[in-house]
Structure 1
Amino acid sequence: MKLRFRRIARTLIRVAILLVVLFLYFGRSSFIIHVKNTFYEPVTEEYRYGLIDDVRIIRCYRWYRQCGTLFAEQSVSSDNLVSWSRISKNLTDESLYSIESTVFYVTFLYVHQWEPSSGKNPITELAISRHSSLIPIQVTQDVQKLIKISDSSVFHDHTHRQKKNFLNIFGGEQSDLDIVHSLGEDWQYNGGGIWCKRRADENPIISLEIYLGSGFHESRPNWKEVIHEYDRRLGSRKLPLSVTREISGPKEKADQWDYNYASISLNVRHGDSFKILQVSDVHFRCSDETAAVLNEFQTKHFISDVITREWPDLVVITGDVLDGENSLDYQTCIMKLVQPMIRLKIPYVFSLGTSDYSRFATDSQIRDFLSNLPFCINKASSSDGHIAMTASFKTGADVVIYAFDSFQPIKPFLEEHVAYKHYKYALAFRHLPIPEYRPEGMFPIIGQYNEQSNYKSKLEEEEMMHKLLRSFNVKAMSCGHEHSNDCCLQSPGDMWLCYAGSTGVGIDRANGMEPSVRLFKIDDVHGLITSWKRNFRMIDSVSDYQYIFQEK
């Protein structure tokens, strides 16, 4: 009896050994991938820009060393392991932009960077479908074009059989189709709904970016959305994900300014006048809250409608674009706000506010993102965040417009631009009001003055800022921050101190006040600076029209 049990035990051991050997043989590729990603780290970095030759959705298991770069098979039909780079997203919580999240792994969008020695062309176009069983519209449109011109390549049957592991307990990457067809000679299917196009006669993709939340629309030159608001269905975090790509190409002429240290020369579009639109305190969250989505949609269209009525030469955004910790993807919020300006090729500048921060990004990351936006003048700011923008009229009269950082001293900056003291017209913008916004006694005022916030600046020069600006011939200063104020009040020395009002729809403000914007016009023919407002409910009407400066 004992001998029989021993024989059975030996047989079971042999079978187990055989199964282990078979498992290691047929699943060795997946096993090696897991070992390398657990104990080694690729020398490459996350993808920010550069030519690419492949795009895939890849699983990153919880026990991997990190998810920024991974070792994975070069293709579904090859065992050759190469380094893949995740598309970079400047958010500290990487789960926010994962495609899928489970107990054992998360998936992200990865690229393989192109090498000249690879023997294949870099990707020139990318399309992603909402489901792997669907073909993106762009792919079908390209195929229809081939059919119309009788290109026989569209009728060729290009079949790529995927190599499968006998045992795949380690979860190696697999395409969702056993047989993958390429339509025509250009498009190739990579699985997961991803289609890549390679043509030697087209400009290649040089950058890919990811945006979270509703309401994102790509408007930058040479950029195009690959997929718009893809629903990932990640439990409580259901923010849609948009992917956009940049094609190599020339910059817009309007974005090729002559940058100097902390100053920039602007074009006067209207010959003898210069118009400025001030937007402030939109407090975008870019969350999945229905009310927030609707409010932000209305705010963006309000700004766009004002621009098409006024056609300003410059848009100044005086802070609180974000809503602090309530904002999830700061990049989506900023892009949503500036989309009308980029689309209409109007330069704009930011003076950041007290709510312009993110719990998922640093202040420097936010500022770097601003400096890389097209038509954004913040790329010319000083190390302290100040900017001086100049323009000249046909008569030879000069204009200077300052955008100050509310949290940095301005005296050293102004001392480096003493020549601007003699400019005929000067205006200043920043987020926070200065002490002279709290006058005592009787004073001239136009508009509503309902709020006096308790914010105390930490700048030692705050008490002398008014005098300093007057010495530089600044005719008016305009700020944001206080939602229930939209007035202009006259301070000593005839310098006007104005509020933009608050532009965001749905934010807290005094009863009866509407979302509004402020405009300034410098008219060199009549030697005037005037100002007025437009509000959300009566956009075709102007209110509180006033003179800021009149040449004597």
Structure 2
Amino acid sequence: MTRRLVRTGCQLGFLVLFACLLVVVLDNKFRVLPAAIHGHLPTHHAGFIVTDVTLTSCNVINVFSSCKLDPDRWHRIEKDLYLNTGWTSRAYLHFERKREEDLAEGDKVVVDLKISRFNPGATDISPDKRDDWEPRPGGIWLKRTAERHASDSGKALTSVDVLFGADAVDPRHNWEIKDTPLLLDSGTEAQEARLSIRRGPPPKLTKPIPRINEHGRFKIMQAADLHLSTGLGKCRDAVPEEPTPGQKCDADPRTLAFVEKLLDEEKPDLVVLSGDEVNGETSPDAQTALFKAIKPLVDRKIPYVAIFGNHDDEGDLNRQQLMEILEELPYSMSIAGPEDIDGVGNYYIEVLGRGKTSNSALTLYLLDTHSYSPDERQFRGYDWLKPNQINWFRDTAQGLKRKHHQYTHMHMNMAFIHIPLPEYRNSNNYWKGNWLEPPTAPGFNSGFKDALVEENVLFVSCGHDHVNDYCMLEKDENNNKPSLWMCYGGGSGFGGYGGYGGYVRRMRFFDFDMGPGRVVTYKRVEWGNTEERVDEMMIVDGATVIGPQEKH
């Protein structure tokens, strides 16, 4: 009997262990599930004051170990501080918060937070100053006060967040990222968890209003396929492999240095992020990667719009969650678009004419080209624009026509997508630039090119195929006249592939001169003759599509 009980107990113990391990495996495999609720995203609103911060660690195969605290008191940021790389270890950051009006006598308010192995006040002469700092797990030190005025002094912490990696940044106003990572038993720099804290209430964001400048000019920079990661990222097919002899190539710092150089030299009026900003496969925390793409733009107060590619949502956030973040960032004009239309990010923005006019001079249409084919058996490869998206585009363009006619000068339309249209494959058309890989357009043609022509869109530009950077001229079949330019942005990020014969990363620009109604496009490269405008050509004149050597 004793042996039977022991054997049964062992079997039950094994089953419990197996079940726990299965939970770990499933949690790692389907780690998008916790992100579906992403408890940290909606909490950054006014009215709350942080009263305490702590960290919990647990072992998932120990049924008596838990990373949860009382949910009525503590808010847990739903990000494992080990990024799910630990087989059994988990850790989460919690913070306690109260509304200002609910603060009771004796409640303490956090007015400072530091990460350190030692008491930050250890060098203070006064013992009272040393006692101001309270230790918490993970090297967290808090300075708290019970003074009633502290909650509205501007010093009080009002929210806390977690980002990852040695190069983590936070583009949100009033947020400060801590230079020192949490003191955890973590591995590589990509696993360094860093705290970002906010002081004061979140500022009210107003959408930028882009406008043609006083000289009648407007410049768009298209940043295609940045492929940013959580952490520094690994360079792929870098040319040259070492930007400086002996200097290691880290993908994200090198990509962002390229972006910042062009922002400073070209001074674009608007940046279009045309998909695959985030390299989902290497972004267990997609928020961190997305923030890195946005920070240089916020620092320079440059408006921007974004659409998604096939890799953005392969990390821990889906398209809707990524767009929710973008919509709340400074200088963002990104919009999720109508909920009853397929995809996330079907929208348009207007660039107003010069001076004080409220009339639109330029209209940019942005559409979601989705990811992979929903019917691999019949149409292999990538997805296509759906009929309701095309109908939305037609209806929107038609609805805007009367308003655009109020503009006293020449109004122009353009479009940006991620995955190229099937017509990009037509090698019989005139094209200029690099065509180094087969265009990976969808196998099914839903007719969006025809809709673009019918609604007088002058050019469409995409990304996706990193080493194609050509512009192709589509002609009207009836009169053989130019009808639409179809361009590639050219791959810009070192985290994505870039092979095929030493291809150098690049960025495309569209320069508008509203006086004569002209559009000139060109590219700038990351290495080599970096000051040259590559393949510069006029594609629009008199607000009309023109072919090579033509001029109105």
- TM-score for both structures, normalised by structure 2: 0.71
SS in 1 for 2:253: helix
Kindly report which structure 2 residues correspond to 1:174-185, keeping only aligned pairs within 5 A, or say none: 181-182=131-132
Q: 1:222 corresponds to which residue?
A: 174
Alignment of 1:163-312 (within 5 A): 181-182=131-132, 188-190=134-136, 192-198=139-145, 199-203=150-154, 204-230=156-182, 232-235=184-187, 239-249=191-201, 251=203, 255-257=205-207, 265-270=209-214, 272-287=216-231, 291=235, 294-312=250-268
Residue deviations 1:111-150 (CA, integer Å, cap 9, x gap):
112251432566454322232x1528xx98xx7xxxxxxx
2:378 equivalent in structure 1: none
Task: Quote how far apart the aligned CAs of 1:244 are.
Answer: 0.6
Q: Shift of the alpha carbon at 1:232?
A: 2.8
Corresponding residue number in structure 2 for 1:113: 97
Q: Evaluate the alpha carbon distance shift between residue 345 and residue 65 of structure 1 in structure 2; reply closer, same or farther with a 3 A threshold.
A: farther
- Whole-angstrom CA distance in 2 between matches of 1:503 and 1:365: 24
Equivalent in 416, 427, 437 of residue 396 of structure 2: 416
Q: 1:434 aligns with which of 404, 416, 421?
A: 421
Contact 1:239/1:288, CA 8 A, preserved across alignment = no
1:121–1:391: structure 2 CA closer, same or farther, 3 Å change rule? farther
Any idea what SS the aligned residue of 1:517 has?
strand
How far does residue 298 in structure 1 lie from its aligned partner after superposition? 0.7
Secondary structure at 2:162 match in 1: strand
Matched, 1:496 2:485: yes
- 1:68-147 map, 5 Å: 69-71=68-70, 83-89=73-79, 94=80, 96-97=82-83, 106-115=90-99, 116-120=102-106, 123=109, 125-131=111-117, 133-135=118-120
> Structure 1 230/539 Cα, relative in aligned 2: closer, same or farther at 3 Å?
farther
Residues 55 and 196 in structure 1, CA contact (< 8 A), matched pair in contact too? no
State the distance in 1 between where 2:59 and 2:360 align. 64
Q: For residues 539 and 155 of structure 1, what CA distance do their matches in structure 2 show?
A: 56
Change (3 A) 1:288 1:275: closer
Cα 1:375/1:64, change in 2 over 3 Å: farther
Q: Which position in structure 2 is the counterpart of 1:56?
A: 54
Match of 2:450 in 1: 467
1:387 aligns with 2:367: no
- Residue of structure 2 aligned with 1:444, choices 413, 430, 438: 430
CA-CA distance at 1:235 after TM superposition: 4.8
In the other structure, the counterpart of 1:476 is: 459
Supply the AA of the counterpart residue of 1:450. Answer: L
Tell me the SS of whatever aligns to 1:331. helix
Q: Which moved more, 1:318-327 or 1:517-526?
A: 318-327
Q: Does 1:456 align with 2:442?
A: yes
Please state whether the residue corresponding to 1:357 is helix, strand or coil: helix
Shift of 1:440: 4.2
Is contact 1:284–1:322 with CA below 8 Å preserved after alignment?
yes
SS of structure 2 residue aligned to 1:299:
helix
Unaligned regions of 5+ residues in structure 1, if any?
1-44, 73-81, 144-153, 159-179, 259-264
Aligned to 1:371: 327
- The separation in 1 between residues aligned to 2:364 and 2:489, in whole angstroms, is 16
| Equivalent pair of 2:39/2:78 in contact (CA under 8 Å) | yes
Q: Is the 8 A contact 1:68 1:86 kept in 2?
A: no
Give the aligned CA root-mean-square deviation in angstroms. Answer: 3.2
CA distance in 2, matches of 1:314, 1:238: 31
C-alpha distance in 2 between matches for 1:325 and 1:472: 37
* Equivalent pair of 1:232/1:238 in contact (CA under 8 Å): no
- 1:543 is matched with which residue? 534
Residues 493-548 of structure 1 deviation map (CA, whole Å, 9 limit, x = unaligned)? 42111000000126323213210000012211222111111110133221111111
For residue 6 of structure 2, what is the aligned residue in structure 1? none
Is 1:348 matched with 2:304?
Answer: yes
Tell me, yes or no, if the aligned pair for 1:306 and 1:539 is still in contact at 8 Å. Answer: no
Residue 401 of structure 1 pairs with residue 364 of structure 2: yes
Query: Match for 2:361: what amino acid?
Result: D
Is 1:528 aligned to 2:518, yes or no?
A: yes
Shift of 1:387: 1.4
User: For 1:66 and 1:416, how far apart are their aligned partners in 2?
Assistant: 55
118-127 or 52-61, which deviates more: 118-127
Query: Structure 1 residues 201 and 328, CA, compared in 2 at 3 Å: closer, same or farther?
Result: closer
Q: Distance in 1 between matches of 2:507 and 2:460?
A: 15
Match of 1:31 in 2: none
Unaligned runs of 5+ in 2: 1-37, 237-248, 371-384, 405-410, 477-481, 543-551
Would you say the 8 A contact 2:511–2:521 is kept in 1? yes
Query: Retained in 1: the 8 A contact 2:280–2:311?
Result: yes
Change (3 A) 1:232 1:157: closer
2-structure distance, mates of 1:434, 1:102: 43
Equivalence for 2:286: 330
Whole-Å Cα distance in 1 between the matches of residues 510 and 75 of structure 2? 47
| 2:503 paired residue among 500, 509, 513 | 513
1:426 is displaced (CA, Å) by 0.9
Q: Tell me by how many angstroms 1:195 deviates.
A: 1.8
Paired with 1:496 and 1:445, the residues of 2 have a C-alpha distance of 9
Question: Contact conserved, 1:433 with 1:480, CA < 8 A, in 2?
Answer: yes
Contact 1:128-1:227 at 8 Å conserved across structures = no
Q: Which residue of 2 aligns with 1:162?
A: none
What letter matches 1:109 in structure 2? L
Q: How far does residue 484 in structure 1 lie from its aligned partner after superposition?
A: 1.4
- Letter paired with 2:70: F
In structure 2, give the amino acid aligned to 1:368: E
Per-residue Cα deviation, 1:276-301 (whole angstroms, up to 9, x for no partner)? 10011122232466648712101001
Rg (Cα) greater in structure: 1
Where 2:468 maps in the other structure, the secondary structure is: coil
The 3-state SS of whatever aligns with 2:457 is coil
CA, structure 1 residues 324+397, in 2 after alignment: closer, same or farther (shift >3 Å)? closer
SS at match of 1:376: coil
Question: C-alpha offsets along residues 408-429 of structure 1, whole Å, 9 cap, x if unaligned?
Answer: 5332322134233464211110
Q: What CA deviation, in whole Å up to 9, does each residue of 1:400-447 have, x standing for no partner?
A: 011111135332322134233464211110101112211143x32221
- Structure 1 CA distance for aligned equivalents of residues 523 and 268 of structure 2: 13
Decide whether aligned partners of structure 1 residues 454 and 312 sit closer, same or farther in structure 2, where only a CA change above 3 A counts.
Answer: closer
TM-score by length of 1: 0.71
User: Is residue 424–residue 439 contact of structure 2 (8 Å, CA) maintained in 1?
Assistant: no
Identical pairs, percent: 22
Kept in 2, the 8 Å contact 1:134–1:193? The answer is no
